[in-house]
Amino acid sequence: MKKLIKKVLCYDKIYPIIKDSSLYHLYKKSQWDIANSLYNNPWNNFFIIGVTWTNGKTTTVNLLQKILNDNVAPTISISTADIRIDTQRKENSKKMTSLNVFDLHSYLTTAKDSWCRIAVLEASSQWLDQHRFEGIDFDAAVLTNITHDHLDYHWDMERYANAKKILFKNVLSNKKQTKIWVFPTDDTYWRKWFEEMPLDKKISYSSSASSILKATQIIEYLDHTEFVFSYLGKLYRVRTNLLWAYNVNNILAAMWVGIEIWLDMNKIIASVESFQWVNGRLQKQVIKWATYFVDFAHTPDALEKTLTFLEKEKGDGRLITVFWVPWNRDTEKRPIMWELAWKFSDIAICTDDDPDTENRLSILNELSKPIQERFLAPWKMSYIIPERRYAIKFATEIAKPGDIILLAGKWHEKVQLTNYWKRDWSDYAELEAIKNSSN
């Protein structure tokens, strides 16, 4: 019913006009006031960190939670994948990066009762643009990158970047004494914002450009990553369970917040090195003779980085990629992600994600022409398999000893929005079924 109402009202077309109106701001503020009254203002005395970017938000949020929870005080983190309160973890089943105002207050109340005084929040561009954090004063804002995503909503990259900029404006303009910005020096938008926004604490990091916190000597392995970073003229070595070089930037971003609140560097590194993984972020499983990697790569940038890493590590084996194309959101990503899957994989299998209100076959049919054209390259193979379960099963059946299989798109999610209903779904459960049948 909700989807039907949105279609009838042309919601997506009129919303950009509504969201900037005074009435909409008043509505959001009133929601915040009601939630505050119901939950007795749980935000009092919290140190609040907002994390925003295209890829890496969830990993950095969870890294920050680990560092701060280990070394400062019980900490709550809310991300796309999960909600962590002190040492307790609960999956985020809402299929939303940022929770609505009432769920947010509910979790903050629970966290406060558990003596948490630090909150790390994943802040999506849509939620920032829709003023869903109305009423929150952030102490720190963290950015790692801005790449192609959500352009169905934001229309172009400039509007997308400006939505994320809201988080940093919040830190700049609120009345809190602590004001921390953490930026990557190799991001185009950071360089623009650095000049535009007058804040003293602008902290930079990078693994590829000059910065205050700089990582070098990055070595990737199939089960861990090693790197060296410099700070104030001293070198530190880190061995992390997180895979691929891209995660080094996420680690540096999280470490910077710890440095800024005067944590001991060796304790920060110890927390990073004991951090296991984030659910659905390049997790590895070996079943039969094939090595599976599952990753929530849902943007061109994320998929390219994941495939680049796996292509280097496959050795004499083949790289089989099972990937998805999104429904009626950011359709510009579809050909880009197909090109990437084709470029790096020996076998590319395109399947469903959440077709939702768009016909699942029409989504996949859009890929038929480029696939036909690629038959000119006989050493590569590609398939379209609408049902996700069969796509995963097919990848398993054609795998040979030494092959790597990447499942991209839905790893941590527990539901799938089909053309007919919402059904329980888990890539993890599918892999477990394959694993049990092989024993």
What is the pLDDT at residue 36? 86
Last residue of a domain, one of 249, 272, 295: 272
Q: Are residues 263 and 336 in the same domain?
A: no
Least confident of 114-128, 232-246, 355-369, 400-414: 355-369
* 249 assigned to some structural domain: no
Identify the CA nearest to 343 among candidates 295, 317, 377: 377
pLDDT at residue 380, as a whole number: 76
The HSE-up count of residue 104 (CA atoms within 13 Å, CB side) is: 27
Rounded Cα gap, residues 240 and 60, in angstroms: 13
- My answer on whether 361 and 309 are in the same domain is yes
Read off the pLDDT of each residue in 398-423 and give the average, rounded to a whole number: 78
Would you say residue 237 lies in a domain? no
Query: What's the pLDDT score for residue 6?
Result: 45
pLDDT in tens, 82-95: 899 999 988 777 66
**CATH number of the domain enclosing 372:** 3.90.190.20
Task: Say whether 261 sits in a helix, a strand or coil.
Answer: coil
Same domain, 389 and 264: no
Q: Rg of the chain over CA atoms, in angstroms?
A: 22
pTM (2 d.p.): 0.78
Single out the residue of 341, 338, 343, 348 nearest to residue 382, CA to CA: 348
Give mean pLDDT, residues 394-405.
Answer: 92
Task: Please say if the pLDDT value at position 216 is more than 80.
Answer: yes
Q: Same domain for 91 and 148?
A: yes
Say if residue 239's pLDDT is above 70.
yes
Question: How do strand 290-295 and strand 404-408 relate by DSSP bridges?
Answer: parallel
Please tell me whether residues 62 and 160 are part of one structural domain.
Answer: yes
Q: How far apart are the first and last CA of the chain?
A: 45
Decide if 84 contacts 105 (C-beta within 8 A).
Answer: no
The verdict on 68 and 189 lying in the same domain is: yes
One domain for residues 144 and 268: yes
pLDDT tens, residue by residue, 19-43: 667 777 778 778 888 988 899 888 8
Q: pLDDT tens digit string along 267-297? A: 999 999 999 877 666 778 888 788 888 887 7
Q: Which of 105, 69, 60 has the alpha carbon at shortest distance from 89?
A: 69
Q: Is the separation of the CB atoms in 306 and 389 below 8 Å?
A: no
**Nearest alpha carbon to residue 140 among 175, 180, 192, 194:** 180
Tell which of 218, 242, 272 closes a domain: 272
Q: How far apart are CA 119 and CA 74, in angstroms?
A: 9
Structure tokens at 316: 């004499």
pLDDT tens per residue, range 157-214: 667 777 778 888 888 888 888 888 888 877 666 666 666 766 666 677 777 777 788 8
Q: Are residues 22 and 153 in the same domain?
A: yes
Q: Is residue 217 part of a domain?
A: no
pLDDT-derived band at 225 (thresholds 50, 70, 90) equals very high
Neighbours of 419 (CB within 10 A): 13
- Between CA 224 and CA 203 the distance in angstroms is 27
DSSP for 331-353, written as a single string:
TTHHHHHHHHHHHH-SEEEEE-S
Q: Dump the DSSP string for 171-222.
A: HHHSS-S--EEEEETT-HHHHHHHHHS--S-EEEEESSS--SEEEEEEEE-S
151 belongs to a structural domain: yes
The helix/strand/coil state of 22 is helix
- List 237's β-bridge partners, or say none: 228
Look at residues 248, 272, 296 and tell me which one is the last residue of a structural domain: 272
Please check whether residues 117 and 173 belong to one and the same domain. Answer: yes
The whole-number pLDDT of residue 71 equals 97
Q: Residue 94, SS3?
A: coil
**pLDDT value, residue 386:** 83
What pLDDT was estimated at residue 96? 65
Predicted confidence at residue 312, as pLDDT, reads: 83
Question: How many domains are there within the chain?
Answer: 2
CA distance 214 to 205: 6
Q: Residue 85: what pLDDT?
A: 95
Domain range holding 148?
2-204+257-272
Identify whether residues 299 and 420 lie together within a single domain: yes
In a domain, 215, yes or no: no
Say how many residues make up the chain. Answer: 439
